[in-house]
Amino acid sequence: MSEFLTDLSDAAMARAITENCYALTPFYHGWKGAETYSGDGVDWVVTDIHFPPCNAAFHTNLKPEDVDSMIEKFKERGRARKVPLQWYIGPETRPLNITQSLEKHDFTTHGDGAGMAVDLHNMNESEPIPAGLEIIEAKDDKALKAWCHVVSVAFGAPPEAEPIFVKIVKGYQEYKLPMKFYLGLLDGKPASTSGYFLGEGVVGIYFVGTLPEFRQRGAAFAVTQKALKDGRALGYRVGILQASKMGEPVYKRMGFKEYCRVSSYTWFPESSQVKEQGR
């Protein structure tokens, strides 16, 4: 693939939506202590981090008769490290009924969401920046801790999960991933977050969240668009994301269109503490 995706066909957009997500996993970046597996119809990575996307399976193209044994093989690695696991499901996943097998093996899901993309040359840029909003790049420890706090609360994670987010972000920085983290301050208070990851020729948007008391004021729209504009300034043509039901109307207003449906199935070890942190 060229450095920047220029093929705006439906198939190319759908592929970029999933491949950017997979490229963000530790599978590709040499994280210390990470176990990787590639072949026999699936790729996966397992780390010591109690955050499901850091312990992920993807690129699934299994023979039906191999599904159950491969799921159990993946779970065994999760048990050994006592970490939660995540299995990504995209339009390319085969067999189509693998979700039934995942459920049989105690993986759960919150349902699917829209895989969306936008031509960065045709975004809706007419909405004004909300009054009192300042957007900064979270780089130093203070800003990154504030960023992680907003992400944790916005996504409903318990307080003990915040150090996990800090560890993950520090890992992204240590391995020099092409990422930026944006913090929106409303009237000087941390309110909203976004982040981008540059991979597979597109700008991938992640970690979009707003504290409940600051919602419905346009902060999420603004911090997300800031990340997209910065990616466009580097030469990127396409932005992608995977939308929650709550976020989908915001992204459509920005110009995003749905190109596929995506989901993930998560498995937790028996430890209730790990379950809460993993969620």
Tens digit of each residue's pLDDT, the chain (279 residues)? 458 999 999 999 999 999 999 999 999 999 999 999 998 899 999 999 999 999 999 999 999 999 999 999 999 999 999 999 999 999 999 999 999 999 999 999 999 999 999 999 999 999 999 999 999 999 999 999 999 999 999 999 888 889 999 999 999 999 999 999 999 999 999 999 999 999 999 999 999 999 999 999 999 999 999 999 999 999 999 999 999 998 999 999 999 999 999 999 999 998 534 444 444
For residue 273, is it within any domain?
yes
Please report the pLDDT score of residue 277 as a whole number. Answer: 41
pTM for this one? 0.94
276 CB neighbour count, 10 Å cutoff: 14
For residue 133, is it within any domain?
yes
Please report the pLDDT score of residue 275 as a whole number. Answer: 46
Per-residue pLDDT tens for 139-154? 999 999 999 999 999 9
Q: Name 253's Cβ contacts closer than 8 Å, sequence gap at least 6.
A: 124, 127, 221
170 CB neighbour count, 10 Å cutoff: 13
Question: Residue 201 phi/psi, 5° resolution?
Answer: 80, 10
Length of the chain counted residue by residue: 279
Please report the pLDDT score of residue 2 as a whole number. Answer: 52
148 and 89 share one domain? no
226 and 267 share one domain? no
106 and 124 share one domain? no
Please report the pLDDT score of residue 279 as a whole number. Answer: 40
- The range of the structural domain enclosing residue 269 comes to 24-112+263-278
For residue 89, is it within any domain?
yes
Per-residue pLDDT tens for 160-199? 889 999 999 999 999 999 999 999 999 999 999 999 999 9
79 and 151 share one domain? no
230 and 132 share one domain? yes
Q: How many domains does the chain have?
A: 2
58 and 179 share one domain? no
108 and 146 share one domain? no
Please report the pLDDT score of residue 159 as a whole number. Answer: 86
- Does residue 95 have a cis peptide bond before it, meaning omega lies within 30 degrees of 0? yes
